[in-house]
Amino acid sequence: MTEQVLRVQSFEKSFGGLRAIEALDFTVAAGQIKSFIGPNGAGKTTLFNLVTGILPPTAGTFEFAGRTLNGLKPHAIARLGISRTFQNLELFGNMTALENVMLGRHSRTAAGIFSAGLRLPGMRREERQIKEKALEELRFMGLENKAMMGATSLPLGEQKLLEIARALATQPKLLLLDEPAAGLNMRETVKLSETILRIRERGITVMLVEHDMSLVMEISDEVLVLNYGRKIAEGRPKEIQRHPDVIAAYLGEETQNA
Amino acid sequence: MRKSDYYPILLMALAVILFPLLAGGNGYFISLLVFMGINGLISMGLSLLMGYAGQISLGHAAFYGIGAYSSGILTTKYSFHPVGAFFIGILFSALIAFLVGKPTLRLKGHYMAVATLGFGEILFIVFNELSPLTGGPSGLSGIPPLTFFGHPLEGAAYFYLVWGFVIFLLLFSLNVINSRVGRALRAVHGSELAANAMGVDASRYKVQVFVLSAIYASMAGSLYAHFVTFISPNSFSLMFSILLLMMVVVGGTETIWGALLGATVLTLLPEYLRGLEDFEVLAYGAILMGVLLFMPRGILQGIRGLLGKRGEVGVPSP
Amino acid sequence: MTLASQLIQYLFTGLTLGSIYALVALGFTMIYNATGIINLAQGEFVMLGGLIMVFCTMILKLPLFLGFVLTIIGVTLVGILFERLAIHPLKNASLITLIMITLAGSILFRGVAMFLWGKDPYALPPFSGSRPVHFLGATIQLQIFWILAITLLAVLGIGFFFNRTLAGKAMIACAFNPLAAGLVGINVRRMVLFSFGLSAGVGAIAGAIITPITLMEYDRGPLLGLKGFAAAVLGGLGSGVGSIVAGFIIGILESMGAGLISSGYKDAIALVVLLMILWVKPSGLFGSAEESELKKF
């Protein structure tokens, strides 16, 4: 049996009276690329916020590599091996591209204030390693020439890639990409899909929230469709494309009345 | 420490070594420079907290006071050795900073500012009211000067001591800034959300840098106490907390150099303003407003702009 | 004096202080509601109110009522000028800058006051003579009733403004969503300006009515402001009713504490309350936790 990387059971998230997520169950298998699609407001980003610990679920549990994550803070979950990018880019505008990615190495390194302040040999060695690994990730994303530039001075497409590089630097087992193709042109989107496949080749499992259907259908192993916070379909891309409930959800009642 | 910091530090060290020789026996100038150094210590700590980690403290005079009173009380009333008192002051400051910092740094923006303001005021009241210990409003006198193998440290010797501290802590701070910890702090400033998502325990780091800045202030306080040998609560009032804030903001929050520059300028300023008497507070307010409205990135960035240098990478204005 | 009459004494002192804190808190709340920022110069509006009132009645020898009105107008103008010259140009600045500009404003006002009036405290004659009233063994100054009455009027007036007039509701809309407010035709700039003017006016009222009892000097502002802010937060920033109630709670706590426990630490009482509230329930008594999460600052 393939290893289950993430298991979500009976997830529910309410904001006051609003049910953003309801009765959600799913698993993500190791090495999968699993996409989450659905009309706007379906709860996809909320799901990501739940899985990364930014919001607590109102009900339900979620396990990562066999370990329950309920109640853990975001930084603890990141430490365990889940990393992410953000729909509305959250780069550190006050640092260079390289420093952004180096920050990704934080949870895999240990130097504290004193060894940093006194520049002890252990710390210096660690810094060199951090820099090397960060440069590696920048190279992986094709951004090595932009290392010393201010992170937010890069064009949007490269900023999105930079966020991925930063997330990769955390050495995740599971990577959550929140609308990575938003704002990208055709050429950039093609490059993105190649990149995601290369990420999978590294043994990283990917969860993807996306609106770009061609991207989703092309690279996903499985697709889960959300509507109004509920799962309405789950399966291989071809099945989802033909699924009547999915079509109805996206096109609304017009098709039924047509 | 980045390569770009290497020469300024060397220059500064040179200036520090030469200054007392150039100042001749002028005790007034040397005193002024000692105060500049002491203020520089506090403002460097504040710069780490505000400029790099993006937090705020409107009550830092409290930690300065804790250091000063710890050194003062322990050496006068309990015959502690100054070095012992120095470290106990640091311990005290660190402990209080930790206890106050934990709940306060969770707060957002304005709430954090006012909480630190309230904390500073409470401590000011405590300094005034604990008369048996602190001497109350009339202050604490007779603080022994520091000695080095029996020789009292005064004048130029004290200048070297204080600025030795400044240079050491400057190097320490620069090292921290350009390290894993420094990146974590700057990340928290840039986007606390993303910092947490990348594995940085933002709350923990915010408290850590708050404690660190309190330690810097405490050290400054101890050095202050042994220099002036008489301390009173008025030196640790709200106005001083605001002055400290001004040092960081006026100098420039983007780099620690800004804080040092601010400390230098704003230590000299009261000397000039004292002559103005009635205008003093007015001038402070006007200067602060002027800088905020017209030079929001601080004097340092203003100077760099004039020299045609590019500013630091993408740092948001204060 | 028996304990009972002492307590009554403290109660009335507490109500007096509470009125002032309530008005200051109201000032904070109004600016916060319209702009989302905390005006650290709020206490200075009170100080200016007191000192300008002294100037009008003692130097210019104007009749009380005229002096009162002129004082309010004067300080309101100061508030408006402050918003135009210092706040508005920085509307897109960072939090630290905004905090510092109100701080700078407070220093500037203090400096002007020090320049014009020096450091000495000034007194005002009580509004209707200095014969105190005796009530259950306690000696109560008549001025206290003036304070309570005027506070009540001010509170009712402002409550009416916010709940019944279009302008008032428009102001509240601005804080929640300036963009949306602007799109429905509310002149956000004017609302912000208005809120500063109103807060300054309210502060002036507080200063004018309290000076006969507590005197007024140039640097009374910061502590008053802090305590008023404590009341604003205790009541729930954004809640006018909360500000009033909390103001009185803090006033009475402080008075009781000063009388029964220690007068040296009395100022610390309000501050400790402030810290406790901020640390435990920043949304205060009448605010909702969710709502305070949504506020910009």
Per-residue pLDDT of A46-84, as tens digits, reads 999 999 999 999 999 999 988 999 999 999 999 999 999
Which residue's entry shows tokens 């401590």?
A: B123
Q: Is C99 on the interface with B (CB under 8 A)?
A: yes
pLDDT of residue C208: 94
For C3-128+141-280, give the CATH class. Answer: mainly alpha
**What type of residue sits at position A41?**
G
Our separate counts of H helices and E strands in chain A read 11, 10
Residue C297: other Cβ atoms inside 10 A: 17
Residue A90 has its nearest CB partner, among B189, B194, B201, at: B194
Q: Is the pLDDT of residue B105 over 50?
A: yes
The beta-carbon neighbor of A90 closest among B175, B191, B314 is: B191
Q: Least CB-CB distance to A74: which of B181, B182, B196?
A: B196
Is B317 a residue whose pLDDT tops 80?
Answer: no
Which of B104-108, B153-157, C201-205 bottoms out in mean pLDDT, i.e. has the lowest? B153-157
- Tell me if A126 and B196 make a contact (CB, 8 A cut-off): no
Q: How far is it, in rounded angstroms, from Cα B150 to Cα C197?
A: 63
Best of C35, C78, C85, C108 to substitute, by most chain B Cβ atoms within 10 angstroms, is C108
Domain ranges in chain C?
Answer: 3-128+141-280
What proportion of chain A, given as a percentage, has pLDDT over 90? 78
**Chain B, chain C: beta-carbon pairs less than 8 Å apart:** 134
Q: How far apart are CA B155 and CA B143, in angstroms?
A: 16
Interface test with C, best of B130, B250, B289, B294 (most C CBs within 10 A): B289
Test B119 with C107 for CB contact under 8 angstroms. Answer: no
The residue with greater pLDDT, B226 or B25, is B226
pLDDT confidence bin for A98, thresholds 50/70/90: very high
With DSSP H G I counted as helix, E B as strand and the rest as coil, what are the percentages for chain B, rounded to 5?
75, 5, 20
Q: Would you call B198 and A167 a contact, using CB atoms and an 8 Å cutoff? A: yes
B11, exposed or middle or buried, with CB in 10 Å at 0-12, 13-18, 19+? exposed
The span from the CA of A61 to the CA of A24, in Å, is 10
Among C15, C275, C35, C242, residue whose Cα is nearest residue C150: C15
> How many contacts (CB atoms, under 8 Å) link A and B?
126
Q: What would the pLDDT profile of A147-194 be if each residue is shown by its tens digit? A: 999 999 999 999 999 999 999 999 999 999 999 999 899 999 999 999
Phi, psi of A174 (to 5 degrees): -130, 125
- C109 has a chain B CB within 8 A of its CB: yes
Contact B186 A118 (CB under 8 A): no
Q: Is B113 on the interface with A (CB under 8 A)?
A: no
Verify whether the Cβ–Cβ distance B175 to A90 is below 8 Å: no
The answer to whether the CB of A101 falls within 8 A of the CB of A165 is yes
**In chain A, what residues touch B53 (CB-CB under 8 Å)?**
none
| Res B46 pLDDT > 90 | yes
Q: Name chain C contacts of B103, Cβ cutoff 8 Å.
A: 278-279
Residue A40 has pLDDT above 90, yes or no: no
Cβ pair C86:B125 closer than 8 A: no
Per-residue pLDDT, C275:
93
**Closest CB from B104, B107, B293 relative to C89:** B293
Amino acid at A211: H
pLDDT band at A2 (very low <50, low <70, confident <90, very high): low
Give the E-state strand segments of chain A in sequence order: 4-15, 18-29, 33-37, 59-64, 67-68, 82-84, 174-178, 205-209, 222-227, 230-235
B286 and chain A: CB distance < 8 Å anywhere? no
Helix B109-129 vs helix C266-280: angle between axes, to the nearest 10 degrees? 150
Interacting residues of A67 by C-beta distance below 8 A, sequence separation 6+ = A80
Nearest residue in B to A77, CA atom: B199
Residue A80 contacts B where some CB pair is shorter than 8 Å: no
Q: Inform me whether the pLDDT recorded for A10 exceeds 50.
A: yes
Structure confidence at residue B313 as a pLDDT band (50, 70, 90):
very low
Task: Specify the pLDDT at position B17.
Answer: 85
Global pTM value? 0.91
Specify whether the CB–CB gap between A102 and B183 falls below 8 A. yes
Reading chain C (297 residues) residue by residue, the pLDDT tens digits are 678 888 888 899 999 999 999 999 999 988 888 888 889 999 999 999 999 999 998 888 888 889 999 999 999 999 999 999 998 888 778 777 888 899 999 999 999 999 899 889 999 888 887 788 887 777 888 888 889 999 999 988 888 887 788 777 777 777 677 777 777 777 778 888 988 999 999 999 999 999 998 899 998 999 999 999 999 989 887 777 888 999 999 999 999 988 888 788 888 988 998 999 899 988 888 776 655 555 444
**pLDDT score of B96:** 97
Pairwise CB contact (< 8 Å): A91 & B190: yes
Q: Which of B56, B104, B118 is opposite residue C226, by nearest beta carbon?
A: B118
Chain C positions touching B119 (Cβ under 8 A) are 271, 275
Residue B314 has pLDDT above 90, yes or no: no
**Residue A73 to chain B, least CA–CA distance (Å):** 8
Q: Tokens 């989302």 sit at which residue?
A: C36
Average pLDDT, chain A: 91
Inter-chain CB proximity C278 and B296 less than 8 Å: no
Name the residue type at position C288: S
Pick the residue from chain C with its C-alpha nearest to B124: C268
CB contact under 8 A, B202 and A119: no
- In the predicted model, what is the mean pLDDT of residues A122-145? 95
| Confidence check on the interface: ipTM exceeds 0.90, yes or no | yes
Q: Does position A252 have pLDDT exceeding 80, yes or no?
A: no
Question: Are B249 and C94 an interchain contact pair (Cβ–Cβ within 8 Å)?
Answer: no
